[in-house]
Amino acid sequence: VGAQYQARASGRERLMTFDMGGTSTDVALIDGEIGLTSESEIAGYPVAVPMVDMHTIGAGGGSIAWLDDGGMLQVGPQSAGADPGPACYGKGGARPTVTDAHVVLGHLPPSTLLGGSMALDRHAAEAAVSALAARAGLEMTAMARGILRIADEHMAQALRVISVQRGHDPREFTLVSFGGAGGLHICSLAEQLNMSQALVPAHGGVLSALGMVVARPARELSHAIPGLLENATVDELDARFTAFEAQLAREMNLPAPRFIRRLDCRYQGQSSVLSLAWRPDLDALEQAFHQQHRSQFGHALNNPIELVNLRLRATTADSPPDPPPWPNRKPARPESHADTDAAQQVPVYPRSALAVGQTLAGPAIISESIATTWLAPGWQARMDEAGNLMLTRI
């Protein structure tokens, strides 16, 4: 919700989002509207309750790098958590993590204060990565790069699950990162998916909290309507929707709620359910179902289409206020420079000092108390009026 809110302020509606924290990464696709699903699983158990359609993997800043019995490098799903956390936290952690790899490569410079107060222990990070590198017969920086490549591949595959495997071309979307570690991986993930546009939103480190604040109150009602689509009538379905709209309006006590009508359908004899936006034309609904099935699964069938559920969602008609405009100021200068594995000094810019319209060329580091962005070579970033960093591959 927070990603959609910030991206809309920058004119972006088609988004692929990834929320990278310490232990896991959540990815989702927003094609104008936030997708919902009632076919989720928790701990392996199916949960038939509508929720945001997300895909989660065990990859985060605290994911531990290790060698398997065959000597192959693995990253996660084990995590160092917050205590003791990565070795660079200086709390006694000795196993190398994704965050430690960033410290070794200079993406998180020693001047970075996590949360505005925690200094990074570069020597501890180097010791942890070096120990694993020695076991693998690699140099320290080669091991650090390998850790990041594997972590990136895990996240890129998760993004493919919610895009390519469902018939969406990532190149037609903007990649949006949030969470404390998201900005460190956004350029490399966009490159793996051949995406040329990315966005690092304002307040990225706490965007989930922002999303909770700006989310509109909503309620959803579902009702089973078994039968074939060809045997239904528009008047019958419309009457059911109208009755449920009156029910939800009473329950939510809203003066002018906004209703969203949908139908869950599937091919007769199959279990995969697709949700269709309602339209008062059964032929159009049938064609939309075939097209959506073809897009998501690669084929369409001649089987009759079954109605499964009628869904009605009610929200407030009012939209949340626009984000406050980014303050006008003079273009910022680098506050320092960081040494990277490429034996070059990279400028470090405080995000809060960037001016509207200011453009930065990678490599560069954009720091803030709740997140850090690694602007990789071949990318440029521009601060827009909403305070979002718009990244473009050049």
State the pLDDT at residue 253.
82
In a domain, 279, yes or no: yes
Mean confidence (pLDDT) of the chain: 91
Q: What pLDDT, in 10s, does the model give residues 30-55?
A: 998 888 887 777 667 777 777 888 88
User: How big is the chain by its Cα radius of gyration, in Å?
Assistant: 24
In a domain, 53, yes or no: no
Name the 3-class secondary structure at 61.
Answer: coil
In a domain, 304, yes or no: yes
**What would the mean pLDDT of 295-299 be, rounded to a whole number?**
84
State the pLDDT at residue 118.
82
In a domain, 297, yes or no: yes
**What would the mean pLDDT of 326-331 be, rounded to a whole number?**
88
In a domain, 134, yes or no: no
Question: Which range of residues forms the domain containing residue 284?
Answer: 218-315
Which has the closest alpha carbon to 308: 279, 270, 280? 270
In sequence order, the 6+-apart residues with CB closer than 8 A to the CB of 225 are: 232, 237, 240, 307, 308, 309, 310
Torsion angle defined by CA atoms of residues 350, 353, 355 and 358, in that order, rounded to the nearest 10 degrees: -20
Q: What span, in angstroms and rounded, lies between the C-alpha atoms of 58 and 61? A: 10
Q: What pLDDT, in 10s, does the model give residues 220-246?
A: 889 999 999 999 999 999 999 999 999
Distance of CA 378 to the CA centre of its chain: 22
Whether the predicted model's global pTM rises above the 0.95 cut: no
State the pLDDT at residue 377.
94
Supply the CATH number for residue 285's domain.
3.30.1490
Task: Establish whether the linkage from the previous residue to 226 is cis, with ω within 30° of 0.
Answer: no
Say if strands 174-178 and 197-200 run parallel, antiparallel, or are unpaired.
parallel
In a domain, 227, yes or no: yes
The number of domains in the chain is 1
In a domain, 281, yes or no: yes
* Residue keyed to tokens 């694993």: 132
In sign, the C-alpha dihedral spanning 100, 101, 102, 105 is positive
Give the number of other CB atoms < 10 A from CB of residue 24: 18
Residue 112 has pLDDT above 80, yes or no: no
Task: Look at 147 and 112; give whichever has higher pLDDT.
Answer: 147
State the pLDDT at residue 364.
95
> What number of CA atoms fall less than 13 Å from residue 179's CA on the CB side?
22
State the pLDDT at residue 342.
64
In a domain, 172, yes or no: no
